[in-house]
Amino acid sequence: IIDIHDYRRMNPKLLYKALIDKVVHDFKVITHVLTKYEWDLAIAVLMSIDRAQHTLWRFFDREHPRYVKDPELEEGLLNIYRKIDEELGKLLEKLPKDVKVIVMSDHGAKRMHYRINVNEALAEEGLLKLKEKPEKPMPLGQLDKRGLIDWERTIAWSWGAYVAQVWINLEGREAKGCVRKEDYEDTCRQVADFLQSMEGPDGEKLRNKVFFKWEIYKGSKVEMMPDITVYFDDLHYGANEMIGFNSLYSLETLKGPDDSNHSERAIFMCNEKPSISIKNLEDVRKLLELLIETI
């Protein structure tokens, strides 16, 4: 994927133009490959939508806490969607009519108010122990490399930037695990209760949701999944794994600022009537069946 370097910190107007140009360039490459070569299966990833959602959301969403009124950018995000629709239409006209086409996203987006600094919160609660606090915000991996985490006394930690992915420092699974297996579920519930109770920066109540691994995952790779997943305020609050803000709240990660968070709503479109019906979250698992059937 050819991306736009450091796009989160670019001038929004320059970024908008670069994203439109990228859509045109991407479809030029995709069209060339699909019309000049033989193929059985082709997959293309369009990153312009993602980049636009994370950087241009505040210009069109009047309910965004950092809304900016700018006539040049208020339709910017939607124009990128429109440009992709236009270019996709041109591509489909050049493909055989019997080609099966699926358009799908791995997540949606919604306005982000703040990020919860999850590891900062866990440290304040005594669930993550530091030997020394960093002088500036630092991701968990760097803290670990510098030997700043006291793993022998750490109960839980979090990865991730959009939803909180929380792991319990389980004995026998983690290198320096200290939570006994017989205490695992009780510890999960203790940590989950704490995170679910988190409030906004002004003490406002947040609509937080917690999910336990044993409730939402199935299959042979369940052990690789986080023990607890947290959606803060119906995903209007993101997560941040960095420590060193001296606050439980932040507006950016190491990669830069963000206008939007990932959301639970996404899209799935197919140019022929699917053989399955998807009406709720449980049905999403049926998508795999449809993809296998289509391929």
pTM over cut 0.75: yes
Tell me: pLDDT of 282 over 70. no
145-181, pLDDT tens digit by residue?
999 999 999 999 999 889 999 999 999 999 999 999 9
Position with higher pLDDT, 264 vs 188: 188
Average pLDDT rounded to a whole number, residues 48-61: 96
- What percent of the chain has pLDDT above 70? 97
139-250-190-230 Cα dihedral, nearest 10 degrees:
-90
Q: What are phi and psi of 254, to 5 degrees?
A: -60, -30
Q: Name the H helices within 71-197.
A: 76-94, 118-124, 140-145, 184-196
- Mean pLDDT lowest among 72-86, 172-186, 233-247, 250-264: 250-264
Position with higher pLDDT, 197 vs 280: 197
List % helix, strand, coil for the chain (3-state, nearest 5).
40, 20, 40
Beta pairing partners, 252: 257
78-135, pLDDT tens digit by residue?
999 999 999 999 999 999 999 999 999 999 999 999 999 999 999 999 999 999 999 9
Average pLDDT rounded to a whole number, residues 203-227: 95
Q: Would you state the pLDDT for residue 254? A: 84
